Structure 1
Amino acid sequence: MLRHGRLNRVTIVEDHALFAEALELALSLQGLEVRRVDTEAEGLTQNRLLTEVLRSQPGVVLLDLQLGPGLSAVPLIRPLSQVGVAVVVVTGSVDRSGWGESLFNGARTVLPKSTPLSTILATIRLIGEGRRVLTREDRERLVDDFHRHRIEEEDRRARLATLTTREREILAELMDGRHVREIAQAYVVSEATVRTQVKSILSKLGVSSQLAAVGLALRGSRDTTPARREG
């Protein structure tokens, strides 16, 4: 339940200026007190962004998940929720595991950007009335998707971590679309040597083809992405 007097106070955190301006205007015309946080400010960090949001003392925050390079909105959800702010994610992302992560961290619901304004307004009103805005079944299903994705990601990272430095370099070459002959020439080794290394990569990753190995690596997290050979 929102604190008394805060229901009409809505803060928008969105890096798509046109969408944010349209949403701000539409909500303002409905009598809501709307503030938009500048996500393009120079040197903006997640901590500064959180401070700016809290400074507006919102009852509801409409939060986009994708705020541009190097700035994720997900870490904002839990601290906002913990101080009684109702976070409604409004996003263009169709990643169900990302939706589930938002809900797991305390978001009340997740709405696509294609959601009609009337639905957004209804969501804000239901929150103010202390009513559920997402069925328990849908919430549990999305959170399960998030947990499943996290387990799969941890498994991919563990498999990638078993590769030697040279195997990671070879995998990076495969990711760049190079053939065994090209890789052998670049490393001044025989094609047989490269094929042996590729075979070891496939075995350690538990896949049966170079294409599958590349796919697994591309789905891996940043810190496990195979490093490119220098020089």
Structure 2
Amino acid sequence: MTGATVRRPPARVAIVEDHTLFADSLDLALTMEHYEVRRVSVRGTNSSLASVQATVLAARPRIVLLDLDLGHLGDGARLIAPLAAAGLNIVVVTASSSRARWGECVHLGARKVMSKAQPLNEILAVVRKLSRGSVVMDVAEREALLHSWREQRGEKQRARARLERLTRREREVLGLLVEGRTVREIAQQGVVSEATVRTQVKSILAKLEVSSQLAAVGLAHHVGWATPDH
């Protein structure tokens, strides 16, 4: 009919969020704006990232509001690439303030990354734009986040290269330091003198280019270094 207004069905939005109160707030606000909301549970003991991914895909949402910290399921960032590849618009809403981590999400395919500290209206504004097919991140913001991610990735690669310099025994000692063992405890476990362990620790610090045991442990945690089996 000429002049008739064609109404589009409401956009479907999936919420993948570990924090119940925050998810409730999103659900209520979106429902009041007539979006079709699908809550995806991440708390079940039998749930996994694979099951969450399958549930989201089965719901066929246009937009996914995704948290990064999914409790026992781990890092929600692992869902970004497969969901984005399926054509879904991923908006990461996170408590993390790490610009490098935000940049990683953009690299993986997120359309936008937002802080949970931002007003709810700002999150809704992004959903509205995506539902209209509008751009939600300008080139400058995207490049700045990707730059932060690339810088951190480079730092981690250089740190891992330094960790590769360690001998087998030095890796064992560093692993024990990461576990919180003292020099005395490491010496007793290895049936060696404390002086020997201190010499090994000194070598570890030199190879990792750090000035303290605490910094060495921090570097290992920063790159996700896996401690060797003792």
Q: What TM-score results when the alignment is normalised by the length of structure 1?
A: 0.87
Q: What is the aligned partner in structure 2 of residue 225 from structure 1?
A: 226
Would you say the 8 A contact 2:11–2:131 is kept in 1? Answer: no
Q: What is the aligned partner in structure 2 of residue 55 from structure 1?
A: 58
| Match 1:130 to one of 133, 139, 145 | 133
> Is the deviation greater in 143-152 or in 171-180?
171-180
Q: Does 1:191 align with 2:187?
A: no
Q: What is the aligned partner in structure 2 of residue 77 from structure 1?
A: 80
Would you say the 8 A contact 1:181–1:191 is kept in 2? Answer: yes
Percent identity of paired positions between Structure 1 and Structure 2: 49
**1:123-168 CA-partner distances (Å, limit 9, x unpaired):** 1121233322122111111111111111212222222233233212
Structure 1 residue 5, shift from structure 2 partner: 4.9
SS in structure 1 of the partner of residue 64 of structure 2: strand
Would you say the 8 A contact 2:18–2:71 is kept in 1? Answer: yes
SS in structure 2 of the partner of residue 130 of structure 1: coil
Q: What is the aligned partner in structure 1 of residue 173 from structure 2?
A: 170
Contiguous gaps of at least 5 residues in structure 2: 1-6
| Match 1:39 to one of 35, 42, 47 | 42
Alignment RMSD (CA, Å) = 2.1
Contiguous gaps of at least 5 residues in structure 1: none
Would you say the 8 A contact 1:92–1:113 is kept in 2? Answer: yes
Q: What is the aligned partner in structure 2 of residue 205 from structure 1?
A: 208
**1:20-40 CA-partner distances (Å, limit 9, x unpaired):** 122111210111111100111
Q: Flag the 1:165–1:114 CA change in 2: closer, same or farther, 3 A.
A: same
Q: Flag the 1:51–1:180 CA change in 2: closer, same or farther, 3 A.
A: closer
Q: What is the aligned partner in structure 2 of residue 116 from structure 1?
A: 119
Structure 1 residue 46, shift from structure 2 partner: 2.1
Q: What TM-score results when the alignment is normalised by the length of structure 2?
A: 0.87
**1:9-66 CA-partner distances (Å, limit 9, x unpaired):** 1110001112112211121011111110011133222222111001111011101011
CA distance in 2, matches of 1:28, 1:10: 10
SS in structure 2 of the partner of residue 162 of structure 1: coil
